[in-house]
Chain A
Amino acid sequence: MSDTTPLLQLRGVNKSFGVVHVLHDVDLAIYPGQVTALVGDNGAGKSTLVKAIAGIYPADTGDYLFEGEKVSVHGPKDAAALGIEIVYQDLALCDNLDIVENMFLGRESKNGIVLDESTMEAKAREALKSLSVRTVKSVRQSVSSLSGGQRQTVAIAKSVLWNSKVVLLDEPTAALGVAQTRQVLDLVRRLADSGVGVLLISHNLTDVFEVADRITALYLGRVAADVATKDVTSRQVVELITTGTSSDLDVAPRPSTTV
C-alpha cells in the first residue's frame, strides 16, 4: 500500500517556538483510503504538528507535499483550499446555530446576496445520509441540543460535505461514552473507505487499534516509529509513546541530534 503516493506528506519538518524546539525532522504520510493514527504522550508535539498541517503555525523548515506536489501552506485558508479539513477536539461548532448553518459556516451558498437555505439544507441532508447518520432528529435542530457524539458527527460530516481529501481528527472520542465512541469510530472507518485520507490523533489505543491502518508515534517531537497497525501490539506502542523505542520491535529509533 505504501507505494501509492501519499495524499499529504511532510518531510523533515522542524518547528520552534523561541528557544523551544518542538518538532524535530518530522516525517508524516497520510494515504488515501487509510486511517493513520498519530499517537504520543502529552507534550510530544501532536497538536503542534496538526497546527503545522493546518497552517496555523507554519513549519520553520521542511517540505509540505500534497498529492506529491510541493505546496506552501501559510494559513487555515490555504489548507482548506487544498481540501484539508480539521475537526478540532473542542469541536468548533456554534451552539446557537442549527446543523445546516454550522456545516456551511463560512462557506454559505448564496442566491445573489440572499442565503440559499434550500440548497444548503438539501446538501447537508445528503452529506449526513452518505455517512448513514441515523441519530439526528432534524437537520434544522440547534447544535446545542445534540449529544457529544452527534456533535462530533456533524463536525465530521462537514468534511464530507466539502469533499475533503484529507481529514484530521483531533481526539474525536475523548469526551464520548461507549456507544457514542462506537458510532464515531464507525464513521471514521466509513470516511476512510470512501477514499479520504484520515489522520486520527488519539490517546486511546483501543480506538487506534480498532480503526487505524498505520500508526505514527511521536516522542518528544521526533517520530519514534511509523508502522502498520497489524505489525505491532498495544504494548509495543505504549513503549514507543513512553520511551521512544521498543526493544522487540524492528524499527530503529531515528537518529537524533542531541539537544
Chain B
Amino acid sequence: MADIISDAEQAGFANDLTQSNTLGDSVKAYVQRVRGGDMGALPSIAGLVVLFIVFGLANDRFLSNLNMANLATQAGSIIILAMALVPVLLLGDIDLSAGVAGSTGAAVMGLLIVDHGQGWAVAVVAGLLTGTVIGIVTGVLVAKLGIPSFVVTLAFFLGLQGVLLKLIGEGGSVRIDQPVISGIANTNMSVLAGWIAAVVIIVVFAALRLLQHRRKVAQNLQHQPLAVVIVQIVAMAVVLLGITLILNQNRSVNPNFPIEGIPYVIPLVVVLLIAWTFALGRTTWGRHVYAVGGNAEAARRAGINVDRIRISVFMMCTTMAVVSGIVLASYGGKVSTASGGGNTLLYAVGAAVIGGTSLFGGKGKASNAVVGGLVIATIANGLGLLAQASWINYVVTGGVLLLAATVDAISRRRRSATGL
C-alpha cells in the first residue's frame, strides 16, 4: 500500500481517495449527502414506516398476515407500472398513456384467450407486442417530430381508451380465468419454494457484492468499506427473510383451507427489478439513458443517438406497462373498459417520484418504484380498511403525490446549491 500512496503523491494525485476509510466515515458522508439534498429513497422508507405505525395502531387487521399478502398483490401492478415509467422519467419525459396502454395490451391478451382460443403464452406475447408497437409510435412522435411527450401521451391516453371500448364493447369486460394468468395474483408459491428462493437470492447477492468488493480492492479502485457492504447484505437478508416468514404463515380465516406462501406476483416483481436494475446500471443503454436525461446536448455531442435512446425507452416502458396491465387483470379477474384509466397512471408516477425518481430527469432507480409503490398501495389499503369514503382516498393520494414532487423540487434546488 505504501508504494501506491507515494506513487499517487508523485503524480500529484494524492487527493484521489479510493475508499472512505471506515464505517463511521461512510455514515457521515451519507448524512452529508442527505442534508445536501440527495435523499434518494430515504423519505419514502421513512414514510412507509410511519404509515405502517399509523395504520397498525388505527386498525387491528392492517398488520395481519392476510392483509400483508393482500397489500403485496395490490402493490404489484403499481410497482411494475412505476418501474416501467422510471426510464421515461429519467429522460425528463412522461408517459401518461402507460396505464391505458397496459390495459389495451392486457385486453388483446384476454381476447385472444377467450375469443380465439389461443394459448396463454401466445396471447401474452401478442399483448406485449401491442405495447411495443404503441411505445414505438409514441417514441417516434416525441423524438423525431419533437412533440412534447406530455401532449403525445395525453392524446394516446384518450385515444387508447376509445380503442379499449371498441375491443371490449361498451360496458363489457373480458374475463381472465386462464389458470396461469389468473394465478399470477391469486396463487402462492409453496412454502418450501419460497424459502429456497429467498435463500438463493440472498446467497447470490452476497456473493456478487463480496466478489465485486474484493476485485475493487485488488485493483485499487474506488470502493466502499467492507463494513458497509456487510451491512447492506445483512439488511437485505433481514428484509427478505422477514417478508418470506410473514407470507409463509397460514393467513386463512377458515382453518380448513390454509392459505400460505409467497404470492407469485412477488417473484415476478423481483425478477423485473433485477432486470431493470441491470439494464439501467450496468449496460451502455442504461448509461446513455441517464446521459440523455442529464444533458441531451452533451449526449448528442458524445455521439449518442439521442432519438434512438428516446424511442427505445418509450418502447420498453409501454411493453412493461402491458406486464402491469396483465397483473392488474389477473388481480381483478377481468379487463374492463375502465381498466388502466382513472388514477392507475398517477399512482404509478406517484410511486416512482415518492421512491426518489426525479421528475426533472437524470436521477432515479428501478428500486425507487418498489418502495414508492408500497407507499401508494399502503395508503390505498390502509384507508380502505378504515372504511373511509373514497373521496378521502383520492385527496390523500393526491396530497402524497404533491408532497413527493415538492420534496423532489426542493432537494433538487439544494443539490444545485451544494453541488452534490
Contact = CB atoms under 8 A, between A and B. Distances in A.
Given A76-B301, A134-B13, A138-B17, A96 B419 contact: no
Nearest to A108: B284
Interface stretch (B177-185, B213-221, B258-266): B213-221
A72 interface: no
A134 B301 contact: no
B166 interface: no
Nearest to A92: B298
Contacts of A142: 420
Interface in A126-164: 128-129, 132-140, 142, 144-146
Interface in A109-141: 110, 113-115, 117-118, 121-122, 125, 128-129, 132-140
Contacts of A137: 15-17
Contacts, number: 108
Interface in B267-298: 282-284, 287-288, 290-291, 293-295, 297-298
A18 interface: no
Nearest to A106: B302
Given A97-B290, A101-B287, A122 B302 contact: no
B346 interface: no
A93 B298 contact: yes
B416 A144 contact: yes
A96 B294 contact: yes
B240 interface: no
Contacts of A113: 283-284
B299 A118 contact: no
Counting contact residues on chain A (CB < 8 A from B), the size range is 35 or more
A173 to B, nearest CB: 20
Contacts of B304: 105-106
Given A95-B295, A96-B363, A122 B221 contact: yes
A94 interface: yes
A77 B420 contact: no
Contacts of A77: 303
Given A107-B303, A110-B284, A118-B221, A94 B14 contact: no
B297 A133 contact: no
- B contact face: mostly helix, strand, loop, or mixed: loop
Counting contact residues on chain B (CB < 8 A from A), the size range is 35 or more
Interface in B1-43: 11-18
A115 B283 contact: yes
Given A105-B304, A144-B419, A125 B13 contact: yes
B267 to A, nearest CB: 24
Given A94-B298, A144-B420, A118 B287 contact: no
B293 A115 contact: no
A88 interface: yes
A94 B219 contact: no
B299 A138 contact: no
Interface in A61-91: 76-77, 80, 86, 88, 90-91
Contacts of A76: 301, 303
A92 to B, nearest CB: 4
Nearest to A146: B419
A97 B301 CA distance: 15
B64 interface: no
Interface of B: 11-18, 215-216, 219, 221-222, 282-284, 287-288, 290-291, 293-295, 297-299, 301-304, 362-363, 415-416, 419-420
Closest 3 interchain pairs by CB?
A: A106-B302, A94-B294, A96-B294
24 contacts: A77-B303, A86-B301, A90-B297, A91-B298, A93-B295, A94-B290, A94-B362, A96-B293, A97-B290, A97-B291, A105-B298, A105-B302, A107-B302, A113-B283, A125-B13, A125-B16, A132-B11, A132-B12, A133-B12, A133-B13, A134-B15, A137-B17, A139-B222, A145-B420
Interface of A: 76-77, 80, 86, 88, 90-97, 101, 105-108, 110, 113-115, 117-118, 121-122, 125, 128-129, 132-140, 142, 144-146
